[in-house]
Amino acid sequence: GHVWEELDDEEFLYRLGAAGRSDDGKIHPTAAGLLMFGHEYEIVKEFPHYFLDYQERMGGERWTDRIVSTSGDWSGNIYDFYFRVYNKLIQDIKVPFKLEGGDRIDDTPVHKALREALANCLINADYYGRQGLVIIKDKEGVTFPIREIFV
């Protein structure tokens, strides 16, 4: 029901900030659009050190499951990484039985906290920086990289 729902793809991406218009009026992806919806092999042309890495380390130091943006079997962009990783993060969360108006509620405060932490981690990453982003899930919990911000 949003007012942008009826827009064509180019205008929607422009209003979203994922696309911009050059002086000649042509549409092109913005840095944000490239990171969110591009393919890894295109993203690294603009962000040479771009690298997203999710590791599950349930059996020690070596990973037991991993998602990396360079694998080539998926887009490698932030949007797809978010959903792939979020689904891995919530696999082991216990969900108590709860009904609201006849609908089962499967969303807990832990789900919300993980979504927020993952989104903040991806949004605040320095993609022009010299190192990639590594998220680690182990038996103790989840480690998200923290970017130092100096004011």
Are 34 and 45 in contact, with CB atoms under 8 Å apart?
A: no
Report how far residue 51's alpha carbon sits from residue 135's, in angstroms, rounded to the nearest whole number: 11
Whole-number pLDDT of residue 99? 81
Element (H, E) at 53: strand 52-57
pLDDT one digit per residue (tens) for the chain, 151 residues? 899 999 999 999 999 999 999 999 899 999 999 999 999 999 999 999 999 999 999 887 789 999 999 999 999 999 999 999 999 999 988 887 888 888 877 888 999 999 999 999 999 999 998 888 999 999 989 999 876 555 5
Strands 52-57 and 65-68, sheet pairing: antiparallel
* Four-point Cα dihedral 41, 44, 50, 51, nearest 10: 20
Q: How far is CA 7 from the centre of its chain?
A: 25
Q: Is 57 left (phi over 0), alpha (psi -120 to 50) or beta?
A: beta
Which pLDDT score is estimated for 147?
63
Please tell me the predicted confidence (pLDDT) of residue 104.
Answer: 78
Q: What is the pLDDT of residue 149?
A: 53
What local confidence, expressed as pLDDT, does residue 148 receive? 55
Distance from C-alpha of 143 to C-alpha of 45, rounded to nearest angstrom: 28
What ranges in the chain are assigned the alpha helix state H?
A: 9-16, 31-37, 40-46, 78-89, 109-123
| pTM reported for the whole predicted model | 0.86
Asked whether 138 and 120 are in contact (CB, 8 A), the reply is no
* Contacts with 98 (C-beta within 8 Å, 6 or more apart), sequence order: 104, 105
pLDDT at res. 97: 84
